[in-house]
Structure 1
């Protein structure tokens, strides 16, 4: 296959109100490189700016890997090691910040094994559904590294002692263990993965985009605050939230015993 005929490394597809982002490098176990990371970043930004998308799904092609982390093939410029001193802010940091600021729900469809930087990507999503036969791991210690770039997100999701075990041993763990730790929302037999995803999306896309947007903003802000500061923030946000058109519509629909028509305003 000629260079020009190579498949797109990331597939971006609208399915109704959901934007699907698929890492399309099955032969490389959906490993990350700069092109992949920047394409995902742009796709998320476009989904938010467009105003019609209600949720984002991130997944990998095939059924072997969700994402194996940085592409470490010989001659490949892996994001874990490359540093451009003229551009000190790394593109994986740009993507993680984009996910942190994304006002849409982002769901990881974990169709296969999740390793290293791929695990950081999973942790940066809002929710995750996985097939029950997948394995997860931060395997960097086996090649003389530590998962530095993804550690901030893992610290927010995993119990500290389990995270230390993962980082130090580099061993892999099961979907059932990840579910127990709170890393995954749901684990289902592989044949039921998409049905469970559709079920979750149906519970997300019919809700107020404004409530979700303000709720995600509050979640991210309060997580970094002390209790006193968080209570003050919540107090200030209540009148803002209550004044939105979606809040008014939601209250009217409740009183009139009908389904709400949310516009995202």
Structure 2
């Protein structure tokens, strides 16, 4: 599948390097425009309607996130480029949007472009981009949502409504307040990395729980969550878990 792309980065050298790598490594990407100006980038997107936009996060005139918010219906796939910015990467990962860490690795570029092409075929960009804008406006992590691919399509789940993640033979069953659990093809390790350092704790290799919903800890090594879910805490994690609860 051939796709049209626009490159937006305020640094001339970074723009030139990305263009060169795409031309050498990703022959199915046709670069139809490039710019160092975010404002010009907005006009190019509106005029040329690209399928894919490579977008720098940190730009002085407008950030990549600000630029995205200026587009009324951002129905194009995005690959963000960023220096290692934990906040930016966390926001992007929650929405299943592609990103590259500068300096851009060749293998990462090829893999991310291939994923973007699959996403373009699935036509899911608009929903994911709107979710990113919504998440960036959320004041707390619990008000944010994550995108979860399921057998029926994409599920947009608010973090505050997740009771726990349950590992299930390489898949993950996500238990949600007041609704049926959903099964994701991602492993529980994927979700643990996605939400690390937040209000979740992996009590067992198969269970990642939302600490908000703990109702009781039993001395024999179990937690009781809302809706009477009784889950085991691994013996080697119990002391750390108890310390976490006391904090």
Structure 1 and Structure 2 fold alike (TM over 0.5): no
Structure with the bigger percentage of strand: 2
TM range (shorter): 0.3 to 0.5
TM-score, normalised by the number of residues in structure 2: 0.33
Structure with the bigger percentage of helix: 1
